[in-house]
Amino acid sequence: MSGTTLQSKDQIDPIIHRGYLEELADAYAPASLDRRSPFLSPLFSNLSGFPPTLIQVGSAETLLADATRFAEAAAIADVATTLEVWPDMIHAWPLWNGGLTDARLALRSAGQFIKHRLSDLVP
């Protein structure tokens, strides 16, 4: 909740806004806690040993910068990281897979990612 796109994409993303995220954060953890604690946010934790990670984010969503920062942190920690930035998509666009082609494509991509990673585990 500290990325620059929280403000720059606020007028574009109809779903996620700073005020809403702050309400959720307050419900999850009291304001007296350090929100940068690795126990509260994986962005500030030691990501070494994380499993391969797929991050799908829309270019029009307020959490874009947070997603790209997490992808960078994971890559720095040598986590196999795939970042997909989907043009003109807002937060949670794959939920509209019944009528949105990019939503179906994102779900297909996620399925392929999982299938590929599971095949790495099975001899």
* The model's pTM: 0.89
Kindly report the number of other CB atoms within 10 A of residue 6's CB atom. 20
| Alpha helix segments (H runs only) across 29-100 | 64-76
Query: What is the rounded distance in angstroms from the CA atom of residue 83 to the CA atom of residue 74?
Result: 10
> Which pLDDT tens digit goes with each residue over 40-91?
888 899 999 999 999 999 999 999 999 999 999 999 999 999 999 999 999 9
- 7: which residues sit within 8 A by CB, 6+ positions away? 18
> Which pLDDT tens digit goes with each residue over 5-49?
999 999 999 999 999 988 998 999 888 888 888 988 888 999 999
Q: Which CATH superfamily is domain 5-121 in?
A: Alpha/Beta hydrolase fold, catalytic domain (3.40.50.1820)
Closest CA to 59 of 93, 98, 97, 104: 93
Kindly report the number of other CB atoms within 10 A of residue 16's CB atom. 18
Q: Where are the domains of the chain?
A: 5-121
